[in-house]
Structure 1
Amino acid sequence: MQQQKPAFKHSLNLMDATMIVAGSMIGSGIFIVSSDITRHVGSAGWMILVWVITGVMTILAAVSYGELSSMFPKAGGQYVYLKEAYNPLVGFLYGWSFFSVIQTGTIAAVGVAFSKFTAYLFPEVGENVIMLTLGQFQISAAQVLSIAIIILLTVINSKGIRNGKIIQTFFTIVKILSLAGLILFGFMAFKSDVWTANWQNALDLHMLNADGSFSEYTMMAAFGAVAAAMVGSVFSSVAWENVTFIAGEVKNPKRNVGLSLFLGTLMVTLLYLAVNVVYLAVLPLHDIAYATNDRVAVAASLQAFGPAGTLIIAVMIMISTFGCNNGLILAGARVYYTMANDGLFFQKARRLNKHEVPEFGLWIQCIVASLLCLSGKYGDLLNMVSFVVVLFYMLTIIGIFRLRKKMPNADRPYKAPLYPVLPAIYVLISAAFCILLVFYTRDYVIGGLIIVAIGFPLYYMARKNNVLQPASSDKQQQEEG
């Protein structure tokens, strides 16, 4: 009877998996965050260097995760890796943070970004269009549209992974081509005088003020400024690990998950660097730093495409955010499914519907993301967990070292390249990033740690109520193959 229950099917090939990696990474960040980065570092060289450092971190982490994905090629990804490398508590703290804000908050933020840029084409769905007022609480048309998009994508993904992968592949290809178009036309609009001016004193590190003046940093503040600048580039580059959450549905996961991580992160990193070079080629440094509402891509597209640039970039971001949210929604529910099998989440989340997808997990994720859309606080929450996201990345990479000692004879079809050098480099860079944020953006760090800390009593409440069911989890995982 057990074998007749719905189970995950290996239906995603290498192309599908790579599109999930790239599509989940490319949202609205690349079109916006370079403004904040430039304000912090005040020079073209450091602006590009921030993106290079972030890209190196991302690729190092991704290729290192390949070893973990080959060891544990099943649903759950990073949650499973942390649980196996440390203990169920560490895994749960990640899963709780993931559910409460990391994944759901990102879905909300990307959904609202979709609405904001849709308003360029259809002002009726703008943030200033208030549809409901209850005292001081207001609901805008943009919030309603963002929730509608989240619900729509949840419905589509609840009908089977085939629908989700078709949307993901199509929209990811379209937005990669769109970014390529922005890069191509941006270089065609190349302004040699702007480029030359931007690269004068390219490695001077200082704050760029609104009046065009610079404020010098002390040495410690300079390091902190780089870390603060990286918050935007790091968050624009996260979510690549989403493919590990659905490893149980990837064909030949021991090979294809790790390979898709490398291919997807490398492709996106190169695209991000090229887009930022375009910004520097068509816009003065001050115009990048102080673009209206930080929409630096809009300012650049006006130079590249002329008066139609605003509409073109709006359509690009609509495509980008729609595809990004599809990947986030598709992958997130698989983490809750695995947590439920361990007795650490709502038990309904462990059931697959007739389409072999964890429908309950999809819908509870939808509810939380929708509430965050209504709260209007998702931006603050995402800032708070930027520190926590990198902290869990670092713990996961350290987990490779732990598992080499804990499970020396485990099957490792793929091993982290240049071990232990590359994983160690990532740990050092990410540790420096986290430490600097402690000193430079302490409020956000404390907020993020509070979110994680709430997971401690929740975990022990589950244990006290005898909710943990590891034996059942192991049995079902074996049935999944």
Structure 2
Amino acid sequence: MEKKLKLWDAVMIVMGSMIGSGIFIVSADIMRNLGSGYWLIVVWLITTVMTVAAAISYGELSAMFPKAGGQYTYITEIFGKPMGFLYGWGMFTVIQTGTIAAVAVAFGKFTAYLVPSLNDAAPIFQSGEFQITWIQILAIVVILFLTFVNTKGVQFGKILQNVFTSSKIIALLGLIILGFILIDKSNWSSNMSFGWDAFQNLKQTEWTGISGATILGGIAAAMVGSVFSSVAWENVTFISGEIENPKKNVVKAMILGTSAVMILYLLVNFVYLNALDRDSIAFAANDRVAVSAAEKMFGNAGTIIIAILVMISTFGCVNGIVLAGARVFQTMAKDGLFLKSAVENNKNGVPEKSLWMQGIWASLLCLSGQYGNLLDMVSFVIVLFYMLTVFGVIYLRIKKPEMERGYKTFLYPFTPALYLLIGTAFCILLLIYKPGYTLPGLGLILLGLPVYFFINKKSEKLQ
């Protein structure tokens, strides 16, 4: 593959893939679960530590295996093909394609703010609870358009990514600065007055004080949103084969990109705590905390400003995930674990058929309307795969200390151990307190095992 992506392009892919619609929404659920400004910040700080620790740890693997496929390649090289396939299966069935669908629909929903007729229009098709709306159709158009753009070569996808990611970073910085200048009455003191006391109000009834194990369960439930808003940075590893000097630039991009995004996320939450009181954060209409904050700053124009910002943010996010994901399925195909036609590059040097397979399945998930439920279920599994990959750093240090490492994990073994400790606590708490978020997602991934053995048997017969 041609090395057409520089360090700046790689950083833009990391940041653009991470910043979607989550930061504008999920703080409402965090506040409902914990009810205090202190705890809101703590949840985002824990997520920041997790995210940056994982990126620092992945850097060692990216320098050892600087080729397309990224996390799939790392897992396969360290733990074997069955585990690599389970990761790839999860990526194609839900993780990558479900994220594309969810973020594209978020683009459609915020577009409906500017074009109310999208919201008001009758469903195109309805049968019981199942329906197809114009917002879903718009989401599919965005997915197919960005898939088409990326079939024209990595250069086109790169330009789109850089433009949209730069735009949303500038817009977020503007929102952060104005969030402290344009607010007449600050709510910071009232939000922080609860100190380390925690409260819950999940159904907009009344706030109830919580303590002990209930706080731990509340933290785990609250982190589902913050963690999911902070994933997809590893997408840059999928396209390592197209990045200049990948042994150095991939790790730099991951560490710089994740650190910058998490600082932005923390600052945006400071704006929410300054602009809105506790109830206004927890019960913002449709969880759109950013819209409520912008209305405090800009009046009625705030809704339009945030709608445009989220449209820019989600469009760029979909592009980054589309650009990167297809490289995983191409690498799987080369290993005999995906459709053979996904192996080929087109005349523009990109895996066109893999891109279209990903785009079509993501579009079908949009029509199903189930992507949101699926993503809730696999947030747990995403962290499990992160943990497996981070554990791979320690495993290789013990089993293959002689392997060349162009970059060594900063503060090893503390950094990967810290991620594994937080990740384990998160997963155990979710298993105990929110089994609906965990067991179905785990079951969905494990369904890949019979598929793997079927593919293996078929390939053995062909041999």
Give your verdict on TM over 0.5: yes
**CA gap 1:136/1:313 in 2 versus in 1, 3 angstroms:** closer
In the aligned structure 2, how far is the partner of 1:160 from the partner of 1:167? 12
Specify the code of the residue in structure 1 equivalent to 2:266: L
- What is the RMSD computed on CA atoms of the aligned residues? 1.6
Distance 2:279 2:116 in 1: 29
* Match of residue 233 from structure 1: 226
1:135 and 1:218, CA in 2 relative to 1: closer, same or farther beyond 3 A?
A: closer
Cα deviation, 1:89-134, whole Å, max 9, x if unaligned, reads 1111000001000000000000000000001111232375412345
Residue correspondence of structure 1 range 9-88 to structure 2 within 5 A: 9-88=2-81
1:342 aligned residue:
335
Q: Is contact 1:279–1:297 with CA below 8 Å preserved after alignment?
A: yes
1:400 aligns with 2:393: yes
| 1:210-359 → structure 2 map (5 Å cutoff) | 213-359=206-352
Whether contact under 8 Å (1:46, 1:203) holds in the other structure is yes
Matches of 1:187 and 1:218, distance apart in 2 = 32
| Aligned mate of 2:105, from 92, 100, 112 | 112
User: Partners in 1 of 2:147 and 2:195 — Cα distance?
Assistant: 46
- Asked if the contact 1:25–1:240 (Cα under 8 Å) also holds between the matched residues in 2, the reply is yes
Which residue in 2 is equivalent to 1:476? none
Pairs within 5 Å for 1:155-174: 155-174=148-167
Distance 2:269 2:68 in 1: 35
Letter in 2 for 1:63: I
Q: Secondary structure at 2:408's aligned position in 1?
A: coil
Q: Does 1:368 align with 2:343?
A: no
Change (3 A) 1:268 1:242: same
| Alignment check: 8 A CA contact 2:18 2:230 kept | yes
Alignment of 1:416 with 2:409, yes or no, is yes
| 1:190 match: secondary structure | coil
Q: Of residues 419, 423, 427 in structure 2, which corresponds to 1:430? A: 423
Distance in 1 of aligned mates of 2:76 and 2:204: 51
TM-fit CA distance, 1:407: 2.4
Residues 301 and 309, structure 1, Cα contact 8 Å, conserved in 2: yes
**2: distance between equivalents of 1:340 and 1:281?**
50
For the residues of structure 1 that align with 2:461 and 2:343, how far apart are their CA atoms? 13
238-247 or 203-212: which moved more? 203-212
Deviation at 1:440, TM superposition (A): 1.2
Aligned equivalents of 1:427 and 1:96: distance in 2?
23
Mean alpha-carbon deviation: is it higher for 184-193 or for 456-465? 184-193
Q: State the Cα distance separating 1:335 from its structure 2 match.
A: 0.2
Instruction: Assess, with a 3 A threshold, how the Cα gap between structure 1 residues 179 and 267 changes in structure 2: closer, same or farther.
Output: same
Which letter maps to 1:303?
K
The corresponding residue for 1:139 is 132
Aligned to 1:4: none
Report if aligned partners of 1:208, 1:286 keep a CA contact under 8 Å in 2: no
Say if 1:80 and 1:91, in contact at 8 Å, map to a contact too.
yes
**Structure 1 position 450 matched with structure 2 position 443:** yes
Q: Residues of 2 paired with 1:469 and 1:398: CA distance?
A: 35
Q: Which amino acid aligns with 1:101?
A: V
Distance 1:417 1:213 in 2: 46
Does structure 1 conserve the Cα–Cα contact (< 8 Å) formed by 2:33 and 2:202?
no
Alpha-carbon contact 1:61-1:393 (below 8 Å) kept: yes
Q: Contact conserved, 1:76 with 1:244, CA < 8 A, in 2?
A: yes
| Offset of residue 191 of structure 1 | 4.6
Alignment CA distance shift 1:340-1:97 (3 Å): same
Amino acid at match of 1:368: W
8 Å contact kept, 1:85–1:403: yes
**Structure 2: how far apart are the matches of 1:138 and 1:448?**
24
2-side partners of 1:326 and 1:210: how far apart? 36
Amino acid at match of 1:147: I
What SS does structure 2 have at the residue aligned with 1:465? helix
Cα deviations across residues 351-395 of structure 1 (Å, max 9, x unaligned)? 111111011111010111011100111110000000000000000
Overall identity of the aligned pairs, in %: 55
With the length of structure 1 as denominator, give the TM-score of the two structures: 0.94
Q: Which residue of structure 1 lines up, in the alignment, with residue 373 of structure 2?
A: 380
Going from structure 1 to structure 2, the CA distance change for 1:294 and 1:127 (only over 3 Å counts) comes to farther
Displacement after TM superposition at 1:444 (Å): 2.0
- CA separation of 1:342/1:213 partners in 2, compared to 1, >3 Å: closer, same or farther? same
| Structure 2: unaligned runs, 5 residues or longer | none
Whole-angstrom CA distance in 2 between matches of 1:409 and 1:127: 63
**Which residue number in structure 1 is paired with residue 142 of structure 2?**
149
Q: Whole-Å Cα distance in 2 between the matches of residues 414 and 245 of structure 1?
A: 18
CA offsets per residue over residues 270-317 of structure 1, 9 Å max, x none? Answer: 000000000000100110000000000000001122220000000000
CA distance in 2, matches of 1:444, 1:468: 39
Change (3 A) 1:132 1:212: closer
Distance 2:16 2:462 in 1: 34
| Distance of 1:266 and 1:146 partners within structure 2 | 30
When the two structures are superposed, what TM-score results if normalisation uses the length of structure 2? 0.97
Q: In the TM superposition, what is the alpha-carbon distance from 1:420 to its structure 2 partner? A: 0.6
C-alpha separation in 2, matches of 1:84 and 1:191:
56
Question: Residue 136 and residue 220 in structure 1: after superposition, are their counterparts in 2 closer, same or farther (change >3 A)?
Answer: closer
